Amino acid sequence: MGHHDCHEKTDDPNLTEYDIILNSSGGKDSQAMLDVVCRRAADAGVLDRITVLHCALGRVEWPGTADLARRQALHYGVRYEERHREQGDLLTQVRQRGRWPSATARYCTSDQKLGPARKLVTQLVNELGAIDRPAQVLNCMGLRAQESRARLKKAKLSPDHTASNGRREVCTWLPIHEWSETEVWQHIRASGVPYHPAYDAGMTRLSCSLCILGSRADLLRAARLRPDLAAEYARIEDEIGHRFRNDMSMAEIITGANP
């Protein structure tokens, strides 16, 4: 087991040197990433080192998402772990804070996903027991450059200093960073693994059903598909006196969804 450093020139890590976490939202990008990494790990004989992590978001995510993430992991024969934020779900958090998350303050991602993921890293390292070197953890995410300017700037392979310590070195890997949406779907269709039905209902992203970063079309569609959830968001909006988004309130989204 050679010591590995994420600063190396290569974008493609040697999977035999790591324990691997695949962050799966159950959405199309993590599904394509799962396929790519599991195939490579199988070729390298290290499929047993993969753990798929789904951070369950409860009622704000599309129904059936956690179950689908589990089934996808099962398809590749890899371990599946589900986590959620212990202190309550996103809507509980919005009520406590009195504000919705925003593109500049995405506490939803940091608290609902990154926090639970970090705890899993600790658990995996503890399971490895007394190895005589820092554990090498490869944390894989299905982020794509095409999705946003912030994502475009991210390195494909980078050290995660905040998650690393004397017992572990954590690297973040974005295996499908340069892929287009078309490539993602080609891959999924070729794999034959089931994907979430929300896409066939016209959604372009999975994530939270009503995501603060969603396009107007996605938000209107989601409000039509999940009217009860949209109504709950509108009630919270009233309760805390803060709009879901500066440019459109949930009340406006609901009105637009049911003209």
Residue with tokens 């960073």: 177
Residue with tokens 């988004």: 245
Q: Parse the chain into domains and list their residue ranges.
A: 15-181, 215-257
Q: Are 182 and 189 in contact (CB under 8 A)?
A: no
Per-residue tokens: 179: 């892929």
Sign of CA dihedral 225, 245, 251, 230: positive
Amino acid type, 242: H
In 120-245, DSSP assigns E strands to 135-140, 157-159, 168-173
Q: For the domain made up of 15-181, give the CATH fold.
A: Rossmann fold (3.40.50)
How much is the pLDDT for 73? 97
3-state SS, residue 86:
coil
Give φ, ψ of 53 to 5 degrees. Answer: -115, 125
**Chain CA centroid to CA 213, Å:** 14
**Chain CA centroid to CA 42, Å:** 23
Alpha carbon distance 19, 138 (integer Å): 6
Q: Burial code of 246-255, b = ≥16 C-beta within 10 A, e = fewer?
A: eeebbbbbbe
The whole-chain average pLDDT of the chain stands at: 91
- Express as a percent the part of the chain with pLDDT over 90: 71
Residue with tokens 């956690």: 66
Q: Express each pLDDT in 132-172 by its tens digit.
A: 778 899 999 999 988 767 766 778 999 999 889 888 999 99
Alpha carbon distance 71, 65 (integer Å): 10
Alpha carbon distance 114, 129 (integer Å): 23
Q: Are 43 and 63 in contact (CB under 8 A)?
A: no
Q: Express each pLDDT in 27-86 by its tens digit.
A: 999 999 999 999 999 999 999 999 999 999 999 999 999 999 999 999 999 999 999 888
Q: Are 49 and 34 in contact (CB under 8 A)?
A: no
* Mean pLDDT across 8-18: 82
